[in-house]
Amino acid sequence: MKRSVFISLCAAMALVLSAWPMSRARAQDEGDDCGTTIVAEDDDNQGDDDSQGDENGCGMMVVEVDDENGDAVDDMDDNGNPEDDVEVDVDETAQSGANQGTVLQFHTAQNGSFRLKGLPKGRLTITATRVHNGVTTVRSRRKSVREHRTRRMRLRLRPAPSQ
């Protein structure tokens, strides 16, 4: 009797241990695509509840850019078309995903608030530079990001230092 109970327990333990590494590997694979394609898109400023990251489970950063007076940057030309005069540079050292351990760099032009999607876990530095009416303003900030999370950041631009 004791022997059959012992054999049954050993068999059950073997099943549990053989299944454990497989499920753990699957959980790690879910975030592997994060960081391979970072996308920036205009933010519609609707205050959507995106607390779970982007549609692929990667991290997302919603960035609001304000001018030096604290007003939201939302530039339009004389015809009402967006004027992309905010240059955005993103640097991140990926701590997960296919690019783990490498510095990811991304550049885009926007006209105000925007979203960054496809971000892996890591520490993100966003630098926004705007040249408007001959005046250059700039701001950099760092923030951590994680898969399945949306972080929010407000950048209030300041006059660029003289060179």
Tens digit of each residue's pLDDT (9 = 90 or more) over 61-81 = 999 999 999 998 877 777 888
Domain boundaries, the chain: 1-30, 39-159
C-alpha 65/C-alpha 155 separation (Å) is 5
Determine the 3-state secondary structure of 6 from DSSP. helix
pLDDT computed for residue 19 by the predictor: 46
Give 28 or 156, the one with higher predicted confidence: 156
Q: Which two tokens stand for residue 149?
A: 């999370």
Share of the chain above pLDDT 70, in %: 72
113 burial (CB, 10 Å; 0-12 / 13-18 / 19+) is buried
Among the four given CATH numbers 2.60.40.1120, 2.60.40.1730, 1.10.3720.10, 2.60.40.10, the one describing domain 39-159: 2.60.40.1120
Task: Identify any residues that bridge with 68 across adjacent strands, giving them in sequence order.
Answer: none
Contacts of 6 (CB under 8 A, 6+ apart): none
C-alpha 100/C-alpha 148 separation (Å) is 17
User: What separation in angstroms does the CA of 160 have from each of 30, 75, 85, 129, 134?
Assistant: 41, 19, 15, 9, 12
C-alpha 61/C-alpha 114 separation (Å) is 8
Picking from 35-39, 99-103, 137-141, which range would have the lowest pLDDT averaged per residue? Answer: 35-39
Tens digit of each residue's pLDDT (9 = 90 or more) over 4-21 = 655 665 555 555 444 433
Stated pTM of the model: 0.68
C-alpha 108/C-alpha 38 separation (Å) is 11
